[in-house]
Amino acid sequence: MEVTLMAKHRLVVMRIYGEIDHHMAGEIKKRVEREIKSTGAVNIALDFGGVTFMDSSGIGMIIGRYRTVRALGGSLIIFDASQQVLRLIEMAGINDLVLISDTLQHGINMMKSGKGARINA
């Protein structure tokens, strides 16, 4: 996992690689929570470009991070996800809660404009 902060947008960006299973979902949760507390960020962007597999643990992790940012008045962006992961997100109904985009910049633009939760460029 790689984590960067975009202070201008109070946004933590996390690049995720490999499989999001029970173990990885727990690691992502811990890392995101730590970064939010240490930076004061209220928005999270998860780069799914390197994700090769995700199970229900990943869905739980996304919902948990969504609840965290909503409590802070922020948004959750998921970008560069594979079609397989996007289908799982849609089946779980998460696409109605989080911003889904092809690119980080498009997700940021939609977040700033306050447009609907579903972003497919």
What CATH number has the domain bearing residue 41?
3.30.750.24
More confident residue, 77 or 116: 77
Residue 101 has pLDDT above 90, yes or no: yes
- Are residues 51 and 18 in contact, defined by beta-carbon separation less than 8 angstroms? yes
Enter the tokens of residue 110: 């939609």
Please give the residue range of the domain that contains residue 78: 2-113
Please indicate, yes or no, if residue 105 is contained in any of the structural domains: yes
Model confidence pLDDT, tens digit, residues 22-58: 999 999 999 999 999 999 999 999 999 999 999 999 9
Helix (H, G, I), strand (E, B) or coil at 35: helix
**Any idea which residue has 């811990």 for tokens?**
30
Question: Would the pTM of this model clear 0.85, i.e. be above it?
Answer: yes
Please indicate, yes or no, if residue 119 is contained in any of the structural domains: no
DSSP per-residue letters across 49-101: EEEEEE-HHHHHHHHHHHHHHHHTT--EEEES--HHHHHHHHHHTGGGTSEEE
Across the chain, mean pLDDT equals: 89
Please indicate, yes or no, if residue 120 is contained in any of the structural domains: no
Please indicate, yes or no, if residue 62 is contained in any of the structural domains: yes
Q: Could you give the number of structural domains in the chain?
A: 1
Please indicate, yes or no, if residue 72 is contained in any of the structural domains: yes
More confident residue, 63 or 96: 63
**Type of residue found at 10:** R
Please indicate, yes or no, if residue 12 is contained in any of the structural domains: yes
Please indicate, yes or no, if residue 107 is contained in any of the structural domains: yes
pLDDT at 121: 34
